[in-house]
Structure 1
């Protein structure tokens, strides 16, 4: 099954728009990476200052290959919008999709 990587970014209120803009104008290299399955940027709505960057990959090896290659090219320069980050890793053990009508 797939693996999920979540980067929990601490983003001050005054940098939220900057972070979202950077993600919306990102190079998009992840979408064409071998083994990439899904991406989501999750905005906090319940009083926390943490954004979640969610990616799903076919395997740990595919994720590492992206980290060592294309990811470094897409994350260059500029002042960071986040003041901290925490990386979480999960293995998908169950999943479900909506039933077809």
Structure 2
């Protein structure tokens, strides 16, 4: 059964563009992971300061395997770190992961 992971990331108003840039810089990094079905980065359109990263996985086991993988650790380092430099300053002030199973819906 498909599981949904939502990373709710609190981002100050002046840092949202940088968050989007960082996600774009590593686009496709998770695409080959076993069980990965897709993701979206959702930007708030109101006064909220939480951006949502919504990912879909075949099951909990494949998600946990990806989190434990070297690819996860590598993908979550900044471009500077990946090339041997210093870590980039965080753009978020808080994040938490929410977990859901698909209980119903429709294909449009």
Q: TM-score, normalised by structure 1?
A: 0.92
Give unpaired runs (5+ residues) of structure 1: none
RMSD: 1.0
Work out the CA distance in 2 between the residues paired with 1:41 and 1:62. Answer: 20
TM-score of the pair, normalised by structure 2: 0.86
C-alpha distance in structure 1 between counterparts of 2:26 and 2:3, whole Å: 23
Pairing 1:88–2:89 present: no
**Cα pair 1:27 1:74 within 8 Å, conserved:** no
Alpha-carbon distance, 1:28 to partner: 2.3
Matches within 5 A, 1:62-77: 62-69=62-69, 70-76=71-77, 77=87
Q: Which residue number in structure 2 is paired with residue 11 of structure 1? A: 11
3-state DSSP of counterpart to 1:96: coil
Tell me if the contact between 1:10 and 1:49 (Cα under 8 Å) persists in the aligned partners: yes
TM-fit CA distance, 1:29 = 2.1
